[in-house]
Structure 1
């Protein structure tokens, strides 16, 4: 009887400190060598194959589930039902900033080989985890420790570098498109007149992405497109989108290839990879407070790759190459919004380089390509250049460009170089050896 009483009191005592712990497995912490991976789930039942894929990245270590409501529903599932051996699974139900920054919680997260965010209300996660020691540990988990992380529903919503915070509650597509500045259209990452790279979580391949979930129930395409348009209108920047239907999962490894899991064709289960049309240059979308939102470019303001999820994640999208999209197993759609009404039609892949008239007409040439150290430029009168990596970050900027660019300090990989010359902009892909 005493043992039962002590077990009953334990969650009450921890709850008074802002968290409750539910533990399954070996109480002795071990350290393994985890591998990086991200799993995004659409918000209904977890896809077992996708979750097993992520769990294997923990390499037998300790798993921490973070949530703000609920209890221990993940413990047995992750510990013993997927056929992947781990040392322990601990669910931490955090209900305040005090709980998030409790030394016990921080120690458990610091020693985790995998972190999983449950569903719920994403504003709880943002309110409790943002701008404190727990946020720092979560970012350290993926950027320094290179360990796996994932989430479903609200847990997926917070993993993008841009995010819908739900500070004033949820918003429907109809509400967002009717007034893109409505009180409940609350977007994260805003900071004065500039847009920081991220202001919460910093997950590789998702830095400039806003995610959305439950995409088919209810339909959230219109609100997601409005979110992307708001960033464009307010900051003049390109933000991409990733979304899942409810029973769909997206798994991303170190190679940046997103594998889509689902049960198609038995069910209509899709993931969506959304980007503003790179050939749309007519200023910002029509985005005015208390006015219907409009963003239409020949019915294709947004280019979307729609991928059916399969049991083994065979269909893919390459997140390294938004500007040079490479997908397998999906189809392209064009999305637009006109006077607050969303439309979707069959489309084709964006052609961000070859459709640029300046590229066709200007005689500037760059060589060698691939390049090891020095990139030569012919027929340049005067100009400047910016070089971006595949995640959209500026890695080199030259205001007064000569006929040579030293790229010896860049890591091997694919880059986008944008040259401004004689009031023309020429964009090229270069490969650094």
Structure 2
């Protein structure tokens, strides 16, 4: 059913393109119904299908822009050098190319995630699909939607007046296919915050491109309006331009500083929240400052498809989608990045070294007590003792370690003198050290241990 709607919309767009008739579009019922149907599809290798959807949407978007360029320039291009209407024709050409270029760049930037199989790209398209569903519901369910979207939901064709094609069907379909599998993989595997960061960067890049494109289009509108001598409200235009520039600057700054270890995650989350507020303010200010059309004559035009009493504005359904996408970025930053409390690598290494040094116990002093070969003096043999700082002597470099069965008793008494230590060590190596209970005897010295 959705494929039939899309095909019908394409045929009607070609049929009525360049005329005053409004072509049919794919409404939110078909788009949201398609997303719900694809969510019921069993998990499987759907990445090829998503890639095919992305390639087809890219081709349709490019063809749509080219068709509209032809429709808007076929009559004005031959008369650019006209003395009376040359300025107006040149303004039409400039705005046509500017609007078409912005529309194509934005659509391709969002559709490129469909042909990328990395987890961050799938997360980004999932967020974009959810934001698209929310945006369509808001625009079509509330009366303010007619002010937000000047063409009220003609989503599958780039209109001859402005940006209209945003690839809603492709984004929602792809998100419904990849979102369950991607979220399941990230929940079962070890949490990788790098994937979430890259997904946020993708979303911020798309928002920055759209905000910068809107600012450029507003400048083009001001130049065209001033050159044609039409009524101009400079304060409103500057206000709208300021919101676009500030929102774009915040998106770019957050994107480049997202991986900065010196920046606290609270700052990143707060700036993502500020970006969401700026996105909402752009829509509100765009509706409030857009110039109104004063209809005259018989009949009520308020119910017509263009009848929102506003001249066409850059603010559209896609701006509402950007609000949802900025909200998704803020939520991800709050839930994922806030849990990250990993210290800096230098601090980690320093703490690990300190912990290892403090946790390592000092080597015990193992001593064996017995009698020498003459049975006169008790001899102390160190098997693991502190090192004695002295000059190197080749004759004493070899230090034998006694077998386990000869270890009689451990004491913490310090060694006597180096000479006794060397002699007892040599006797122990020769096998003349006594074995037994290992307890020092104060009795007779007849050789009995």
* Structure (1/2) with the larger helix percentage: 2
Higher relative contact order (CA 8 A, sep 6+): 2
Which of 1 and 2 has greater Rg?
2
**Scaled by the length of structure 2, what TM-score is found?**
0.21
Higher strand share: 1
